[in-house]
Amino acid sequence: MSADADERTEASDAALVDEARRWWHTDIIDVAPGAISLRGYPIEELIGRVGFVDTIWLMLRGELPSRAEADLLEAAMVASVDHGPQAPSIAIARMATTCGSPVNGAMASAINVLDDIHGGPGQQCMELYLEIDAELGAGEDVESVTRAVLERRRAAGMTYVPGFGHRFHPLDPRTPRLLSIVDRAADDGTIDGRFARIGRAVEDAISAGRTRRIPMNVDGVTAVIYCELGFTPELGRGVFILARSVGILAHAVEQMEQGGRIKGPVPKSIGYTYTGPARRSVPQERGK
């Protein structure tokens, strides 16, 4: 890209420098020689006085949370750190270390797959709750609005409701515990409580007429918490990733200690099944 040097004037240089300086701009962090501030707070005032979860909130939201808000976020994050080596993200982190990846590489390959299916249900559930909430006018009841939204979504092709049911747990052990914490926070006024009502209304609506209820899972209940606390769905997925990164790191390091080189998904003795065409020869006439 050849600079057209002759046409450049001093005036345009100043404009270019200004444009270049503004190319990257942020409300998050100010760094000057000897000084760092996050959202305006000097880093040395935050260190030791403000917790890690408070700092997560400050970085993502712009202001410090109240103690009670931070406690609620913290409970949701503790609940989400791990779900074991059957989760592809965890398995990938473990396999990566046996390929020689350092922790940053193992974490990157693993976090990367927390995409729409593996990391998205919480975010999608938040979008559902927010859609129901947006339709809740004065005087309307949560149950009927919830049923209407679900019917509309089903008509549009929704085949399952994100945040409800679990292929492994009949009842997710994280759900009742988190819900009781949510209820307590609603009682003491930390949160409003309407997303808890919406979440329960969704569970009722999709369980109606069934022998076995389809209970809220960890995605559904953390979605309640993130909505109550005012997080956007995108940030909801982000916070989940921060939490799950802990499990990813723990498993990566445990696998490093266990050793293993180029460890496949199953033992070599199990292997895989080839289902393709039978052995055949490249046509004789074929040249490149």
Binders of its own copies among 107-126, rule CB under 8 A? 107-120
Q: Which is nearer to its own copies, 144 or 173 (CB)?
A: 173
- Choosing from 6, 68, 69, 77, the residue that interacts with its own copies (CB under 8 A) is 77
Q: What whole-number distance in Å separates Cα of residue 58 and Cα of residue 50?
A: 10
Q: Which range, of 72-80, 128-136, 147-155, 197-205, touches its own copies by CB under 8 A?
A: 72-80
- Closest approach, Cβ 149 to its own copies, in A, equals 21
- Choosing from 69, 96, 164, 199, the residue that interacts with its own copies (CB under 8 A) is 96
- Choosing from 32, 138, 155, 156, the residue that interacts with its own copies (CB under 8 A) is 32
Q: How far is CA 113 from the centre of its chain?
A: 11
3-state DSSP assignment of residue 36: strand
Q: Strand order in 41-42's β-sheet?
A: 29-32, 35-38, 41-42
Residue 88 CB burial class (10 angstroms; 0-12, 13-18, ≥19) = middle
Residues 126-165 contacting its own copies, CB under 8 A: none
- Say if residues 127 and 233 touch (Cβ distance below 8 Å): yes
Sign of CA dihedral 242, 108, 121, 88: negative
Q: Which range, of 129-137, 145-153, 169-177, 190-198, touches its own copies by CB under 8 A?
A: 169-177
3-state DSSP assignment of residue 225: helix
- Closest approach, Cβ 142 to its own copies, in A, equals 25
Residues 229-288 contacting its own copies, CB under 8 A: 232, 234-235, 237-238, 241-243, 245-247, 249-254, 256, 258, 261-283, 286-288
Q: Which range, of 12-20, 130-138, 151-159, 197-205, touches its own copies by CB under 8 A?
A: 12-20
Q: Which is nearer to its own copies, 125 or 201 (CB)?
A: 125
- Say if residues 65 and 185 touch (Cβ distance below 8 Å): no
Residues 177-216 contacting its own copies, CB under 8 A: 177-178, 181
Q: Which is nearer to its own copies, 223 or 243 (CB)?
A: 243
Record the tokens describing residue 174, joined without a space.
């994280």
Q: Which is nearer to its own copies, 138 or 282 (CB)?
A: 282
Q: How far is CA 84 from the centre of its chain?
A: 17
Tell which residue, 168, 178, 189, has the closest CA to residue 226.
178
Q: Which range, of 92-100, 131-139, 142-150, 187-195, touches its own copies by CB under 8 A?
A: 92-100
- Closest approach, Cβ 126 to its own copies, in A, equals 13
Q: Which is nearer to its own copies, 59 or 208 (CB)?
A: 59
Q: How many residues belong to the site for its own copies (CB under 8 A)? A: 151
* Cα 230–Cα 242–Cα 84 angle in degrees, nearest 5: 120
Q: What whole-number distance in Å separates Cα of residue 195 and Cα of residue 126?
A: 9
- Closest approach, Cβ 204 to its own copies, in A, equals 21
3-state DSSP assignment of residue 113: coil
